[in-house]
Amino acid sequence: MIFDFIVNNWQTLITIFFSVIGGGFALLQWKKNNTIKEAEFFNQIIEKINCDTDIVQTMYMITYGEEEWYGCCEEKEKHFLVDKKTEELIDKSFHYLDYVCYLRDKNLIDKKGFYIFEYEINRCCKSIQTQTYLFNLYKFSEIQNAKCGFQNLINYAIKNKIFEKDFLKNTNRYTKTLNW
């Protein structure tokens, strides 16, 4: 009787032991699979930002400022984008950057993973034309009782002190270009 009790306990303990090992192995496989999926996802975003010729050319135009694509503060007369095509390219690029900021805000990209995108986002946000454009879109959206389409990008730039703290309220700093 005592022998049966000991054998049953050992059988239970061995079963539990192998179940824990199997569960641990399954957890490791799941984490590895998620890491691979995350790397593939990063690669898709990086590839889009760095290989899409429209985005690459637009980011170059924004960061190096060789071409004025949006009216800057000193020129009160000039106020809108160079043309509709440029506006579409700017918006396309900003949507990708905004999406990356959204993913970071929701902790779907960790801090190390975000380093890959941080340089591009910071360079883009430091442009006075970017700031003026985003400010005007923000104010225009506010009047429409809607969130700005690039709110995550704006929030990132304010949080990381790329934009001034009073960015959303300072109507004197940026040229008003939209009817708000």
85-97: per-residue pLDDT in tens?
A: 888 999 999 999 9
Whole-model pTM? 0.77
Burial 151-177 (b: 16+ CB within 10 A, else e): bbbbbbbbeeebbeeebbeeeeebbbb
Q: What does the pLDDT look like over 106-151, one tens digit per residue?
A: 998 889 889 989 999 999 999 988 998 899 899 889 889 999 999 9
What are the structural domain ranges in the chain? 1-38, 52-180
Q: What does the pLDDT look like over 34-52, one tens digit per residue?
A: 888 888 888 898 899 889 9
